[in-house]
Structure 1
Amino acid sequence: MDVCVIGGSRYFGRRLIGHLRDAGVRVTVLNRGSTAPPAGVEQLCADRNDEAALRAALGERRFDVVVDQVCYTPVQAAIAARVFAERTRRYVLTSTVEVYAETGEAPVREEAVDPSVWPVDLALPWGHPDLVEAHYAEGKRQAEAVLTRAGGFETAIVRTAHVVGGADFTGRLAHYVRQIERGEPVRVHADPQPASFVQEEEIARFLAWTAAADFTGPVNAASDGALDVRELCAAIGRVVGVEPVLETGAQEGAAESSPYSFERCYAMDNGRARRLGFEFSSVAGWLPQVIKEARA
């Protein structure tokens, strides 16, 4: 199998590349070249936002599968759809639980957001970083919609839960570990809602599995067992040996200082992945080790 990974220079993207390579897959990484790829992996350098440069970097190459780790807007998706039409038979988009932010359903299932009918507005200034950051979830929803409706390849969408563990550059879990170890109060919402999580190694394995699969459409990628921020803090407290101090704050302040405290439920139903043949592990099984890693 010949796979192109767009992005993949950090976090679980590098693990994904390693899984594919170690399984005997020929892997090509396409990114801006700021980080060298792992040994045995080819690298193509281009800015994915520049369609002409992207076409030039690819030349006549074709792939069995493209795994897109860094598509955040419908404009990026539209460029990819044009460039990779007839260059690949399968396109895997790494998406996010954030697409469910406005649904209110719990636990959320894939059909809550249908990319085949989601409205797309390519005229918005998607090239502006502030817009992309402020409308991250909507950018992902519209990117899903563009790729789902594209011709020339089949599309699978992996909606990831909150990824923790390993080389987590966000520092969100480490933030809680530091505060609890120091005995500092953790601010939470008055009624925090549960969220799903997935371990870095497991989401990389799932993406590699998805690349070799043949299903289409969205699939939730989450470990069994959702946690709210109070339960997460209790688990951290058991590992570090300190009783967490929780402080209820104003909703806005709590959200700013406590990144896993949510007003909405972000628990995901992973039943479709199971029916397709992938069994996720339980968050209770891997969380203690991930907390220990976050202490380092």
Structure 2
Amino acid sequence: MKKGTQTDALTDEASKNLTAIAIAAVPGSTVDIKGAKSRDPPTGDSPTSEGIMVKCSQLILNSGNKRIPIVLGNDDYTRRLHKHIESVQQGLPLGIPNPEAWMCFILSDEVASFLAWLRQSDLEGQVNACSQGDLSTGQILSLITEAAGKQANILSETEQKSPFGPAVSRYMDTTKAVQAGYTFQPLTDWMPKLIREIVA
């Protein structure tokens, strides 16, 4: 049994539309999945990624719900990971109360795939989704410093606390989805690659 806090936290046609929900997802929210329908957002002929996210957040769903942790990706308009990388590159302080605390994450593309799979499944009720494994805030910063070639300026207390810096570890139990046949990507398969892409 993992020691930590189990969190209820929350970036082809399915992939394009549902990736937006993945990035727009807000930790703590719960969204139903099946029978999704959407309204067009007020965007132009070439909608921005934020406009697409708005469209996907307006999905009207009937049964089954998903809970997703922090969603990351190159198209994350919140730029959470980007801001951490920029802070390291610029030598800015990062408020990390407990570098040893670990968290769950998921890649935006995987949320799209997961939601498309979930719509076709017979699962009902709460279904958690997150990448296999976990990384501590300190491990994430180590990946950033290695890619950026600079050391992180970590402070236990600052006005700007990192969203990747929980005081205690948090995890999500994906047993229900895994037993139903879904295989989540290992976190260590995509996080280092994503960091390198953003640094470049």
Do both proteins adopt the same fold according to a TM-score greater than 0.5, normalized to the shorter chain?
yes
Indicate how the Cα distance of structure 1 residues 174 and 270 shifts in structure 2: closer, same or farther if over 3 A, else same: same
Contact 2:101 2:169 in 1 (8 A): yes
- Counterpart selection for 2:166 from 262, 278, 281: 262
Structure 1 partner of 2:94:
186
How many angstroms apart in 1 are the aligned matches of 2:58 and 2:85?
28
Ranges of 4+ aligned residues in structure 1 off by more than 6 Å: none
Larger Rg: 1
Shift of 1:211: 1.2
Contact 1:11 1:169 in 2 (8 A): no
How many angstroms apart in 2 are the aligned matches of 1:277 and 1:221?
13
Task: Give, as a single letter, the amino acid of the residue that structure 1 aligns with 2:66.
Answer: V
Contact 2:93 2:153 in 1 (8 A): yes
Shift of 1:215: 0.9
Greater relative contact order: 1 or 2 (C-alpha under 8 angstroms, separation 6 or more)? Answer: 2
Number of residues of Structure 1 aligned to a counterpart in Structure 2: 168
The gaps in structure 1 that reach 5 residues or longer are 15-26, 39-47, 49-67, 72-79, 81-90, 92-152
- Counterpart selection for 2:124 from 199, 216, 220: 216
TM-score between the two structures when normalised by the length of structure 2: 0.70
Shift of 1:35: 5.2
- Counterpart selection for 2:43 from 34, 40, 56: 34
Question: What's the CA shift string for 1:235-280, capped at 9, x where partnerless?
Answer: 1112222232311116xx3xx4312111243211222111011110
DSSP 3-state at the match of 2:171: coil
Shift of 1:28: 6.0
Alignment identity in percent? Answer: 23
Q: Name the structure with the higher strand share.
A: 1
Structure 2 partner of 1:69:
57
TM-score between the two structures when normalised by the length of structure 1: 0.49
The gaps in structure 2 that reach 5 residues or longer are 1-12, 24-35, 48-54
Moved more, 233-242 or 155-164: 233-242
How many angstroms apart in 2 are the aligned matches of 1:211 and 1:261?
33
How many angstroms apart in 2 are the aligned matches of 1:182 and 1:159?
34
Indicate how the Cα distance of structure 1 residues 209 and 295 shifts in structure 2: closer, same or farther if over 3 A, else same: same
Task: Give, as a single letter, the amino acid of the residue that structure 2 aligns with 1:167.
Answer: D
Shift of 1:37: 8.2
Indicate how the Cα distance of structure 1 residues 13 and 33 shifts in structure 2: closer, same or farther if over 3 A, else same: farther
